[in-house]
Structure 1
């Protein structure tokens, strides 16, 4: 995957400081919009956080596409699984982007870390959609440099250059690992440009870099948990400028990419995978879908008007193994129809949703119930840090695409107390806008070795399951009715 060892001391920053005194053309930031395609969370911070801070200070909107979650940054870690590490790195990226002023939600593709070469079409299509999402005459696309010595950086850089050449869009790449393994003779100086950073941009970059704790500091004292960006490597990113490379002569055609059409301009992906190739997993459903639903309907899914929903809630509540819980977390609470019933059986309820309109309606419904807290959250990225003895996933997990389902279930299990229960209830029929159906959610839960299933209720229309952690006991066993 890489042609260097990140543990090596690497090139001293003094070597680079000497050669970077040379005159380089200035990077032109007179643009209407910037799209950044990062191979891993932290690429954009290491290579271009100063540019991003400069752009946001000038009011230039920025969209960020993150190809992988960097879940293999510590392949020998005894304390962090790849799924857990991917969750951590997403959170770190969101914090870093907030520091440099990027307001738009990042698009996480969740493709395999180290396996991007098998997903060039998916990357190309994601970039096409990002470019078309908010058309502008003067767009700049940024990505890691394809000569950086890292396979994922090469693949992403190549795809970006190909798409931009086809679309006639200006792109630039930023080196990261070049500064570690390379020397002055490895730099394509004829293609190099420089962006000078003012004091505010340098400060924002330094603080954004601090957000990537999992990469800068040891995960633990155990072997395999060492930092991936050591202090000597980190010194390359404390400069008063950033270096970018213009593309070399245009590469070949883009696999799976298409020129703008009425479909692609409206956000519909007109490209299809080549014959015999499985298309990439659909992405997680974003907030735009829900905002539109709540803008057009007071009760989009009939939670308050349909007997089906009322009955399903009753089945879920009856399936809870305990009459009362100390603390519950409800993911995707919508307008609070189920939340109100959970509040009657829990000492505290934290309920979240990504739609502000839904939360406004939930607050009106739950007014006066001080033990209920409502928050806006994008799951699984914004999973709360607290622990609970009841976690409820009701009609939410089939919205999670790509790797988000695994990350969401991992976060849910991690937030359970030792005696806690996880409830999953999902519609079983396929919906065109959803990346999966309820049965695939059930299969993912059943495949987890860290859960024990206590309840399984299946109908033609929905499936309901209750899980506990290893050692969990049935209702009768907890009541002492059976050994």
Structure 2
């Protein structure tokens, strides 16, 4: 989890603009609500929907859409030490601000769509403990096949935003709905040169009228953008430098098309897969898999590595082979069911540590430049493009000087997932590493890239 406070200066809007945030691609047509169709906007607290999606809401209403906003909490925890406003007072205040802000987004004239909202009044800061109530509310209104859902970015860094965004991703994947994720605190703590995912996102251009009504809606959240009183504990939560991110003439979204999955569904998908059969990928007793494994091990440029990571270890078949060539192996997978099987398979090796994590954002705690070998085998296409960029960036950071990045992927279509093997390897080849092994067959591509430095090479 990213750690930050609203009192920090954070990344300035001018930094994002210099990095090219204004040049992101436009949202594709499937990412926009159909004229007259339904749009559901999820918000963790009053003002999230305004900051991140006010322009989208206004755009949808002008297109005659039915827009329903679900707000999980009343935001009563925004000023926990206020000497003038108790939590109940803040809840009432912010509820009124929410209604005023949404009313400001309604377009004038005939033909405008319908706007409704519901406040679930769940405990501020505890959204993760009340996901069932939010899921029920979402499923009740997201019944039409052409429903588009907008929610906070699932890795926004705020505990409530992350929980809500992840829930939205799960539900949309199950129902086959398109999902737009809007970042809020991400703009505050992320850094353009360090965090790569934003470069794959899209924008919705806002015309002058949309910019105006969004600015008016933001002002309605008085308790957040202005001090509650002169007391230091009542200072404005949203400082002007932070609000600059939301005065752009565009809104930025991460888009997952209807019918595609990504890392948000990894744990449930692969747990279910491994629970149904002990060897869902046919690693055992399959001549193709056995030969590919043998080629992978034979291709290692060094006879032995001190430290290694295997990302996507599944049931540990390759892990057991890698363990013969490394002193210490950290094997990671999203599926707890698969890792239980892997634990039995590597129990006698003595040098394998298993770790459950949904990559790329649940990255294991390791020192930078500490791994002589990183293996990314058959998992790259289970990530969206922005997630793959993050994963590869973290692999690069983890590699020791002279270390090796090994990639091996199936070359046929991967149905229901966003990428294929060719795209995964093309992305890896943009890291600036040196290719030392390249083996291509009709069915798979095996490649080993070396990081420059003073290592073994």
Are residues 170 and 295 of structure 1, via their aligned partners in 2, closer, same or farther at CA, if it must alter by over 3 Å? same
Who is 1:269 aligned against? Answer: 177
DSSP-derived class of the 1:429 partner: coil
Who is 1:461 aligned against? Answer: 443
Who is 2:347 aligned against? Answer: 367
Who is 2:414 aligned against? Answer: 431
Are residues 399 and 245 of structure 1, via their aligned partners in 2, closer, same or farther at CA, if it must alter by over 3 Å? same
Are residues 300 and 462 of structure 1, via their aligned partners in 2, closer, same or farther at CA, if it must alter by over 3 Å? same
Residues 40, 70 of structure 2: 8 Å contact kept: no
Query: How far is 1:292 from its partner?
Result: 2.0
Query: How far is 1:269 from its partner?
Result: 3.2
Q: How does 1:297-312 map to 2 (within 5 A)?
A: 297-312=277-292
Residues 144, 156 of structure 1: 8 Å contact kept: no
Who is 1:57 aligned against? Answer: none
Is 1:202 the counterpart of 2:55 in the alignment?
no
Are residues 129 and 315 of structure 1, via their aligned partners in 2, closer, same or farther at CA, if it must alter by over 3 Å? farther
DSSP-derived class of the 1:344 partner: helix
Is 1:290 the counterpart of 2:139 in the alignment?
no
Picking from 419, 434, 449, the partner of 1:452 is 434
Q: Deviations over 1:301-336 (max 9, x none)?
A: 101131111110001101100010001100010000
Are residues 260 and 75 of structure 1, via their aligned partners in 2, closer, same or farther at CA, if it must alter by over 3 Å? same
Q: How does 1:335-414 map to 2 (within 5 A)?
A: 335-384=315-364, 385-386=366-367, 387-414=370-397
| Whole-Å separation in 1 of the counterparts to 2:337 and 2:72 | 39
| Whole-Å separation in 2 of the counterparts to 1:438 and 1:129 | 35
DSSP-derived class of the 1:349 partner: strand
Query: How far is 1:397 from its partner?
Result: 0.7
Is 1:245 the counterpart of 2:98 in the alignment?
yes
Length, aligned pairs only: 304
Residues 390, 422 of structure 1: 8 Å contact kept: yes
Who is 1:166 aligned against? Answer: 66
| Whole-Å separation in 1 of the counterparts to 2:441 and 2:454 | 25
Are residues 140 and 416 of structure 1, via their aligned partners in 2, closer, same or farther at CA, if it must alter by over 3 Å? closer
Query: How far is 1:407 from its partner?
Result: 0.8
| Whole-Å separation in 2 of the counterparts to 1:129 and 1:295 | 36
Query: How far is 1:442 from its partner?
Result: 1.3
- In structure 2, list runs of 5 or more residues that go unmatched: 115-140, 148-171, 180-254
Q: Which moved more, 1:322-331 or 1:292-301?
A: 292-301
Are residues 335 and 195 of structure 1, via their aligned partners in 2, closer, same or farther at CA, if it must alter by over 3 Å? closer
Query: How far is 1:342 from its partner?
Result: 0.8
TM-score, normalised via structure 1 length: 0.52
Are residues 316 and 414 of structure 1, via their aligned partners in 2, closer, same or farther at CA, if it must alter by over 3 Å? same
TM-score, normalised via structure 2 length: 0.55
DSSP-derived class of the 1:374 partner: strand
Q: CA RMSD in A?
A: 4.7
Residues 202, 240 of structure 1: 8 Å contact kept: no
| Whole-Å separation in 2 of the counterparts to 1:376 and 1:326 | 22
Q: Deviations over 1:364-417 (max 9, x none)?
A: 111133321101011110222332000000001111113011111111111000
| Whole-Å separation in 2 of the counterparts to 1:283 and 1:408 | 17
| Whole-Å separation in 1 of the counterparts to 2:3 and 2:261 | 21
Query: How far is 1:466 from its partner?
Result: 0.3
| Whole-Å separation in 2 of the counterparts to 1:472 and 1:452 | 14
- In structure 1, list runs of 5 or more residues that go unmatched: 1-40, 47-69, 83-111, 133-138, 175-193, 206-237, 272-278, 479-483
Picking from 332, 340, 346, the partner of 2:312 is 332
